[in-house]
Amino acid sequence: MLLRAKSPCDLSYADVTPKSVYLNRRKFLQAAGLAGASILAGRGLWELAEPSVPAFAGTKLSVSSKSPFSTTEKQNTYDDVTHYNNYYEFGVDKTEPAKNAGSLKTYPWTVSIEGEVKNPRKISIDEIVKLAPLEERIYRHRCVEAWSIVVPWIGYSFSEILKIAQPTPKARYVAFESFYDPREMPLAKYAGIDFPYVEGLRLDEAMNPLTLLCVGMYGETLANQDGAPVRITIPWKYGFKSAKSLIKIRLTKDEPPTTWSRLAPNEYGFYANVNPHVDHPRWSQARERRLGEFFKRDTLMFNGYSDQVASLYNGMDLKKYF
Amino acid sequence: MRRLLTSQWTKALVFVFCLLPLALLGWAALHNGLTANPIEYITHTTGDWTLRLIVITLAITPLRKIVGQPDLIRFRRMVGLFAFFYGCLHFTTYIWLDKFFDLRDMWKDIAKRPFITVGFLAFVLMIPLAFTSTAGWIRRLGGKNWQTLHRLIYVTAIAGVIHYYWLVKSAVIRPLTYAAIVAVLLLWRIADRLRPKAGAVKELPAKSDPQKVQA
């Protein structure tokens, strides 16, 4: 397979964001007045996503294609998805990240790709957003706490990153690390877990086209509390696997430690596949409450993505590897 | 101070204060303030207030002795009954909004999940206390028996804290804060019992006077 990064010159910012959309943003016009040249050079977009704009403000992203992986289920509202979050660095109550995540500086932003790769590199958010055509993927998202939402994410398959990085033959896992700075996240010390937040996937899971490198939602850049500027989204696993605000992607030989499993290995496993037949020790996983619905609904195996991912686990005892 | 504590108005004020959490919940419901997951929010809020009011009832006896204001006892029954009231709301949200009155599912939950088991225990133990909270029942049972029965509130408090502790994923600071307060309030009682009451005439709770019954 030919693994070659698309030259950054192949796309301009006009491809990412239609000028008509962002030109009418007052902030853009102000910035343009001050530093038009640098914006034309490609800095504008992510500067607009900076959190001097409130935590839930976004910059429009244009999407080149709809995805066959998208569900047709009713989407949750933007308000739900931005005001009911688990992002413990910004407080442990669901409503706290919306209030506190504004302190996260999402530009400039660099993600380091390292470990068992032929091509280790640091890649800026500007490059990330142009690396592959952006798709809208409307995914079900099932939290381990037995609630769920439907979100129109924007991004592309994570495998595009691996094409650039070129894993060595030794690479068997991918480790993710989220940004952590106690100065921007003063509430993190009360969360009861160690930061930075770390997660991981088996390499074949990471290669699965459903695994999304996500830079936006609802047609815009991500809100800070939803993991701006770039996160991973793995729709067949419990939400805690989908690490937010990534700064490091490391290919490894061995299974990497993961935050929740390190904290309570009997409750949270490395795999954390959505599975109605394997309960959390303290509560049932058979049903879930879709936000906005009164009655609980049945939880589906692999969150309804069995066709795409069940084969990854052939022959595995999913009660043991929960 | 005595006049203030014995005034009917103070009692009315405490009553209103105890209803405030429910009023705020109603206000939030009307103004889209119950978060994206209203059922969870209602469950957590009613649970929080059950535990808080239990802690307040447990604090009344130490407080009245420490600050020398025995009249504080006048509020204990009311606060205790409000703790039971919020406990009922909490249990109702669980069995109605979470289990949709599926009793079999509920029993399975109670048997299988320790945090539900202890929560249910804490709730069930409050029922006889609420039922026998009247002056008539104190008379019928006799002050001593009544007092012994009402020590069940200690078990409820401990079970309530464990219920909370087992519920949270990682942020144990809040349940541990409750645990610390309950521990202090219970240890104070032990210390109070062990302390030699120098020269004091032992005060026997009169069967007919609920005001003198202490726990």
User: Quick one: which of A27, A44, A47 has its CA closest to A36?
Assistant: A44
* A54 within a domain of the structure (yes/no): yes
Q: State yes or no: pLDDT of A274 exceeds 80.
A: yes
The number of distinct structural domains making up chain A is 1
State the residue range of the domain holding A81. Answer: 8-313
Q: Do A192 and B109 touch (CB under 8 A)?
A: no
Q: Do A282 and B173 touch (CB under 8 A)?
A: no
* Averaged pLDDT, A10-20: 39
Residue whose token pair is 């990085």: A165
Residue A184 near residue A240, CB atoms below 8 Å: no
User: Quick one: which of A244, A241, A227, A231 has its CA closest to A275?
Assistant: A241
Nearest chain A alpha carbon to B176: A192
What b/e string do you get for B165-177 counting C-beta neighbours within 10 Å, with b at 16 or more?
bbbbbebeebbee
Q: How confident is the model at residue B192 (pLDDT cuts 50, 70, 90)?
A: very high
Q: Do A282 and B113 touch (CB under 8 A)?
A: yes
Q: State yes or no: pLDDT of A42 exceeds 80.
A: no
Q: Do B36 and A80 touch (CB under 8 A)?
A: yes
Nearest chain A alpha carbon to B41: A94
What is the model's pLDDT at position A254?
98
Cβ neighbors of B124 (< 8 A, separation 6 or more) are none
Q: Is A265 on the interface with B (CB under 8 A)?
A: no
Other Cβ atoms closer than 10 A to A284: 17
For A83, the closest of B35, B98, B167 (CB atoms) is: B35
What is the model's pLDDT at position B105?
84
| pLDDT greater at residue A181 or residue A14 | A181
Whether this model's ipTM surpasses 0.95 comes out as no
Say whether A162 sits in a helix, a strand or coil.
helix
pTM of the model: 0.82
Residue A100: CATH number of its domain: 3.90.420.10
For B36, the closest of A83, A192, A260 (CB atoms) is: A83
| pLDDT greater at residue A21 or residue B12 | B12
Other Cβ atoms closer than 10 A to B193: 8
Q: How confident is the model at residue B198 (pLDDT cuts 50, 70, 90)?
A: low
What is the model's pLDDT at position A56?
37
Identify the weakest region by mean pLDDT among A237-241, A292-296, B60-64. Answer: A292-296
Percent of chain A with pLDDT over 70: 82
* A2 within a domain of the structure (yes/no): no
Mean pLDDT rounded to a whole number for chain B: 89
* Averaged pLDDT, B47-71: 95
Tokens at A82, concatenated: 């931005």
Angstrom distance (rounded) from CA A191 to CA A178:
15
The distance of A66 to chain B (nearest Cα, Å) reads: 27
What is the model's pLDDT at position A38?
38
Q: Where are the domains of chain B?
A: 2-192
* Averaged pLDDT, A285-303: 93
Say whether A139 sits in a helix, a strand or coil.
strand
Other Cβ atoms closer than 10 A to B40: 21
Identify the weakest region by mean pLDDT among A56-65, A130-139, A281-290, B28-37. Answer: A56-65
Angstrom distance (rounded) from CA A98 to CA A82:
6
Sign of the torsion formed by the C-alpha atoms of B204, B206, B207 and B209 = negative
Mean pLDDT rounded to a whole number for chain A: 86
What is the model's pLDDT at position B200?
52
* A126 within a domain of the structure (yes/no): yes
Cβ neighbors of B176 (< 8 A, separation 6 or more) are B165
What is the model's pLDDT at position A223?
96
What is the model's pLDDT at position B126?
97
Q: Is A289 on the interface with B (CB under 8 A)?
A: yes
Region of A152 please: left (phi>0), alpha (psi -120 to 50) or beta. Answer: beta
Q: State yes or no: pLDDT of B103 exceeds 90.
A: no
Q: State yes or no: pLDDT of A224 exceeds 80.
A: yes
Q: State yes or no: pLDDT of A55 exceeds 70.
A: no
Angstrom distance (rounded) from CA A4 to CA A166:
9
Q: Do B113 and A84 touch (CB under 8 A)?
A: no
The distance of B115 to chain A (nearest Cα, Å) reads: 7
* Averaged pLDDT, A21-49: 40
* A146 within a domain of the structure (yes/no): yes
Identify the weakest region by mean pLDDT among A264-273, A293-302, B192-201. Answer: B192-201
φ, ψ dihedrals at B213, nearest 5°: -70, 125
The helix or strand, by DSSP H or E, that contains position A213, with its residue range, turns out to be: strand A212-217
